[in-house]
Chains A and B, each alone.
Chain A
Amino acid sequence: MNGSGGAAPGNDCLPAGLKLRFAALVMILLVVIPIVLGRSPYYITVLTNAAVLAFISLGVWVTFSIGRMNLAQGAFALVGGYVTAILSTRYGVSFWLCLPLSGLASAVLGALVGWPVLRLKGVYFAMITLSLTEAIRLLALNGGVVTKGATGIVNIPRPGAIGLFGLTILPEFNGADPLPFYFLASALLLLGIVGVWRLSTSRLGWVFRSLRQNEDLATSIGINVAKYRVIAFAICCFMGGIGGAFFAAYHQNIYPATYTIADSVNFMLYCFLGGLGYILGPVVGAFLLIIAFELLHAVQDYQTLIYGILMIACMLWLPNGILSLAARRDAKQRARGS
């Protein structure tokens, strides 16, 4: 394929710089952090949370790529969490099977809900998805014996060992050591980044972009707009479901209030803060905000207020997100180099 076009649709040759950055990210997540912070469970826990929340936000980023602001990701994480909780506590299904099943359940629900709702645009779509988060929470609250209402489902088993022909590939997760969960979270995040990266640079990503820029024009050239909107939304919900399943097994419990509207808004905020134009935007946004708030314990009471101000400030002065600063610097360097 062409190397010079850079960002031509379907171009699967990633620029060398991006590959290098990804390799650096892999090293940091899987080698540097475990070595440096491996003995402090607190930081490992914070980073585990950040990694999976970033993974869930990546899904929201995919719906942004078709030009829709998704405020229902909390609902789909909740669905994923309950699927894992119910399957593992009631039917003894292994976590490793629950994880993909939760993603699929959320994706199917997302496709069913998305089909009619995705006709709406802008603030209307955002409003409907916002109320969806609330609707799913109420559904869980009033779910009777299935969801056990406000008491939630507790004692969800941790991921079990994976063995092949009597050989243990992955030992059982136990409560004493947070590192196995950290590695699982990092692996999920890295897989998520590669997956979305691939999506975004393939023709599908370009079709998504064409939907964001002009749905009528996309229709006129034969793109089945409704179908691709649903595909993008289902991918987003899939990632939400996977993240929810992880947290259900990680915290070993799930309640209707585990994910609220505030969580849905935060997932979107991570995308905004990092930058909607960059795949790593939600990842950078999530890590920055989550780590910042862990470091600033004193202001946690004002979290909502600070998030609100941050969001307004971000839209006013940095509408393309934090990563746009890096992009600007790169452009300057390139200009100086040539």
Chain B
Amino acid sequence: MAILDLQGITKRFGGLTAVNNVSFSVEQGAIVSVIGPNGAGKSTLFKLISSFVPPTSGRVTFNGHVITGLPPHEVARRGVVRTFQETTIFKEMTAMQNVIVAHQLRCRASSLGIYFSSAAARADEDRFQLSAGEILDYLGLGGVKEMVARNLPHGNLRALGIAVAMAAEPNVLLLDEPFAGMNVEETEAAVKMVRGIRDRGVTVILVEHDMSAVMRISDKIVVLNFGTKIAEGTPSEIQQNDSVIEAYLGQTDEEIGH
């Protein structure tokens, strides 16, 4: 059964149609990549799914419930969690504190209980401490737990961004360019990490430019061009798809022309 289903999602900014009537569905436990030339509307599509931006029309269904129109924190609470393109983290906190704060959705104590440090609040914090340590170890950040995030090297920041998202216990994780700016070995490690996340039962949707990584990792690929879906299929189907080749070759021609 599809865990996430997009139907006719459209977003217009004034006269510009950033995303035009895009529909596809994502199966539980799959890794789905959204690819396309620059400005194809990939990042906007992510914001639409996670409700950071409301669509002009169309709807997103998660586990059979429409999530379009819900506030973004509510969508996260339901289990659709996004990461950010830039290395967006809480810079003044340590890696550990970043991930502990991100456990907010798992709080059982009330605000007053938290304030007066009730038994439930203390139990929460003990659980979060353990869970945060486990997530950081799993993502290879065990050695930098107590480092302030702003001092972490670039590669660790991306992993920390994913660790923060994982703390929110997503059912569907939206990764915005998880391999950007990585060399071959780093990408290899990151690909393994994303597979590992999937193997923990998290459905992964990613926006990515790195074609070789996308082809290796994806169960399904959705191709956007000028906001419109031009193809959808397995990696091998996409590689042989004429309109995809045209979209990418067309872009290459342009680049040569400059």
Q: Choose from A9, A202, A209, A220 the contact partner of B83 (Cβ within 8 Å).
A: A220
Q: In the bound complex, how far is the Cα of B14 from the Cα of A24, in angstroms?
A: 62
Q: In the bound complex, how far is the Cα of B97 from the Cα of A268, in angstroms?
A: 28
Q: Are A209 and B125 in contact (CB under 8 A)?
A: no
| A203: interface (CB < 8 Å) | yes
| A213: interface (CB < 8 Å) | yes
| B231: interface (CB < 8 Å) | no
Q: Are A224 and B73 in contact (CB under 8 A)?
A: yes
Q: Are B125 and A203 in contact (CB under 8 A)?
A: yes
**A210 touching B126 in the complex, CB below 8 Å, given contacts A220-B82, A222-B168:** no
| A12: interface (CB < 8 Å) | yes
| B152: interface (CB < 8 Å) | no
| B135: interface (CB < 8 Å) | no
Q: In the bound complex, how far is the Cα of B121 from the Cα of A111, in angstroms?
A: 25
Q: Are A221 and B105 in contact (CB under 8 A)?
A: yes
Q: In the bound complex, how far is the Cα of B101 from the Cα of A10, in angstroms?
A: 9
| A148: interface (CB < 8 Å) | no
Q: Are B81 and A204 in contact (CB under 8 A)?
A: no
List the B side residues contacting A221 at CB < 8 Å.
76, 81, 101-102, 104-105, 164-165, 167-168
In this complex, the member of A9, A207, A217, A231 whose beta carbon has the largest number of chain B beta carbons within 10 angstroms is A9
Residues of A within 8 Å of B, CB-based: how many? Answer: 30
15 contacts between A and B (CB under 8 A): A5-B146, A9-B101, A10-B124, A203-B124, A206-B97, A210-B101, A214-B89, A214-B91, A217-B164, A219-B72, A220-B50, A220-B82, A221-B168, A222-B105, A225-B73
Question: A residues engaging B (CB < 8 A)?
Answer: 1-2, 5, 7-12, 198-199, 202-204, 206-207, 209-210, 213-214, 216-217, 219-225, 231
7 extra interface residue pairs, beta carbon distance < 8 Å, beyond A10-B114, A203-B101, A203-B114? A8-B96, A206-B100, A213-B93, A216-B52, A217-B88, A219-B73, A220-B81
Question: B residues engaging A (CB < 8 A)?
Answer: 50, 52, 71-74, 76-77, 81-84, 88-93, 96-97, 100-102, 104-105, 107, 111, 114-117, 121-122, 124-126, 128-129, 146, 164-165, 167-168
